[in-house]
Amino acid sequence: MCGIVAYIGDEKAGPILFDTLKRLEYRGYDSAGVAVKSDGAIEVIKSAGRIADLEKVYMALGSPGESMGIGHTRWATHGRPSDRNAHPHTSGEVAIVHNGIIENYLDLRELLTEMGYEFQSETDSEVLAHLINFYYQGDLLSAVSRALERVEGSYAIAVLAASSPYLVCARKDSPLVLGRGEGATYVASDVPALLPYTKDVIRMKDGEIACVYDDRVELRDLAGVPHAAEVERITWDADAAERGGYPHFMLKEIHEQPRAIRETIAGRISEINGDVRLPLGMSDEETASLERVTIIACGTSYHAGMLARYLFARAAGLPVDVEVASEFQHLQVRPKTLLLGITQSGETADTLMALKKAKTCCMRSLAITNVVGSTVTELVNATIYTRCGPEIGVAATKTFTSQLVALILLAVRLGRARGHLTPDQARKMLIELTKLPGLVQRVLEKREEIREIAEAYADAGCYFFIGRDYLYPISLEGALKMKEIAYIPSEGYAGGELKHGPLALITDNTPVVALATCGRKIQSNIKEVRARGADVIALASEGDPDIGKVASVVIELPETRPVFSAVLCTVVVQLLAYYTANKLGLPIDKPRNLAKCVTVE
């Protein structure tokens, strides 16, 4: 996830900017840069690669600049990691750093190009620099406000102009924190970067814009109405601050899911056409001629692929084969097949090897990944990014739910291109999809209820997760999460399969998590396990009249389409595993024997 810093005070800005950028390193980045005010002009130093290397370049140049500057760590979302795509971006005497996604950047880019602006990068962010420059006539606050009125999307920005005595910062749907010190004001994307300098912070709110001086901060909304700045005294230590106050990265990342889903959807829905904008690397005619899809993935990403089997058949009339990457060598791909690799890291060796082997016999290949420029992107015809920021906890959480959302968008695009969905059907589904982040937030608000249930069953000898239809893959994911972070042997099963063997394992020390938001057939499976002494924790839609009669405990979830309820159930199974592992005192972010990215076959 990109990081922003800025400084205005009575010390040289450069060293402070580099120090604060290093404190944002844990968020992950692929390039970095700073812009400092120097002799009435702006000096920019930026490049792909490590901050420490960039700092050496800055020092070799004689540590230029005075007491005002901005800095950035970039985690690519639009355009590969490169020197040109690194921030800050400049236009005339204006320099900006940006975190977020400008959804209408292509329209703005076209407009600005017609006006004579020359673009240096492939990023969405550069349009902001030119727009602000266009409006700037000595009043930076007014220029930034007018530019932001033209922008759709999410942003946290810091803006510097050579002739402005103050910096301007603004935010919408991306975090930004201002720190007030003695004769200096510091800016950063999150609190840890500021702690060595000050513990007095102002968390900017959505829609706020700030004039940042060395001795004060003036907050307004975009219409110019002044807002009072609420100063908060931070009491966390630096370690806890990195995790945003959460005890583990996994819990932080679980809570980031509403935003991650929003970013995955951002700019991709066309309500007017009832369609989705996605780069598939093929025409609608080619898409219509596809006969099947083969999905290759490992672990949690494989579970996302399993959900696509149900989804693509219904939305696009396409049969899907889902293959565990390491087993793929034994299988054949048929012609007229779309090959789809799903890998959050983009570097999993098993997935890369299988994709290399399969792509020669497929019509087209696609990847869904979270890492721009990762190896998988070089192997396929087109890539869909999930844009949810780096995931630090070893157990995949926000990257999985974002993969599910990317697959829903892909299913709609395939369905529309193949004439399987009408614009109206697609539009209804997409409008509901935009409400999903809010529903996920409501599930997160049930964390205390879920914690109590998890703790009550933390000494279970074995866990079962059962589901049908879209929820069968989520039952596998629930079991995987419980195994990997709580070390409890767990099984995920299609509800109907229980009676074909695994029922023998059910005892009164085997809690069964029944994912019951998709149809009523699962209730007979609940009765089967209850009759064998098991407690059943049922996840059901609000107002389900019968579930309370069959389950031992019910967690109610907002009602939505079955495929969207798969995302809601995922959040619950993640929290169940998390709180179980926490109760057992296990190293949640780094479970034994596991690595975040498996680059060996």
Q: Which residues carry out catalysis?
A: 2, 596
Phi, then psi, of 238 in degrees rounded to 5: -60, -35
For β-strands 31-38 and 364-369, DSSP reports them as unpaired
Cβ-count burial of 497 within 10 angstroms (0-12 exposed, 13-18 middle, 19+ buried)?
Answer: middle
Please confirm whether the linkage preceding 15 is cis (ω < 30° from 0): no
Output 290 or 479, the one with its CB closest to ligand F6R: 479
Q: Which one-letter DSSP state was computed for residue 214?
A: S
Shortest spacing between CB 353 and ligand F6R, in angstroms:
12
DSSP for 251-312, written as a single string: HHHHHTHHHHHHHHHTT-EETTTTEE----SS-HHHHHH--EEEEEE-HHHHHHHHHHHHHH
Output 20 or 348, the one with its CB closest to ligand F6R: 348
- The answer to whether residues 532 and 555 touch, using CB atoms and an 8 Å cutoff, is no
Shortest spacing between CB 300 and ligand F6R, in angstroms:
3
**Distance from C-alpha of 371 to C-alpha of 387, rounded to nearest angstrom:** 8
Q: Nearest CA to 587 among 488, 490, 491, 487?
A: 487
Output 348 or 570, the one with its CB closest to ligand F6R: 348
| Binding interface with ligand F6R (CB under 6 A) | 298-301, 343-345, 348, 351, 395-396, 480, 484, 597-598
287-317 burial code (b ≥16 CB/10 A, e <16): beebebbbbbbbbbbbbbbbbbbbbbebbbe
Q: Nearest CA to 384 among 398, 404, 361?
A: 404
Shortest spacing between CB 453 and ligand F6R, in angstroms:
21
Q: Who contacts 59 (Cβ-Cβ below 8 Å, separation ≥6)?
A: none
The distance between the two most distant Cα atoms of the chain, rounded to a whole number of Å, is 80
Shortest spacing between CB 575 and ligand F6R, in angstroms:
14
Q: What is the CA 80 to chain-centroid distance, rounded?
A: 18
Output 124 or 484, the one with its CB closest to ligand F6R: 484
Token pair for residue 284? 């609608």
Shortest spacing between CB 370 and ligand F6R, in angstroms:
8
Q: Nearest CA to 319 among 334, 329, 303?
A: 334
**Distance from C-alpha of 442 to C-alpha of 80, rounded to nearest angstrom:** 35
**Distance from C-alpha of 204 to C-alpha of 36, rounded to nearest angstrom:** 23
β-bridge partners, 434: none
Q: How many CB atoms lie within 10 A of CB 80?
A: 14
Shortest spacing between CB 3 and ligand F6R, in angstroms:
22
Phi, then psi, of 83 in degrees rounded to 5: -60, -45
Output 34 or 396, the one with its CB closest to ligand F6R: 396
Output 154 or 344, the one with its CB closest to ligand F6R: 344
Token pair for residue 57? 């370049």
CA distances from residue 83 to 3, 4, 80, 189, 371 in whole angstroms, order as listed:
16, 17, 10, 22, 17
Shortest spacing between CB 377 and ligand F6R, in angstroms:
13
Output 9 or 390, the one with its CB closest to ligand F6R: 390
Output 299 or 390, the one with its CB closest to ligand F6R: 299
Shortest spacing between CB 347 and ligand F6R, in angstroms:
7
DSSP for 421-488, written as a single string: S-HHHHHHHHHHHHTHHHHHHHHHTTHHHHHHHHHHTTT-S-EEEEE-TTHHHHHHHHHHHHHHHH--
Shortest spacing between CB 344 and ligand F6R, in angstroms:
4
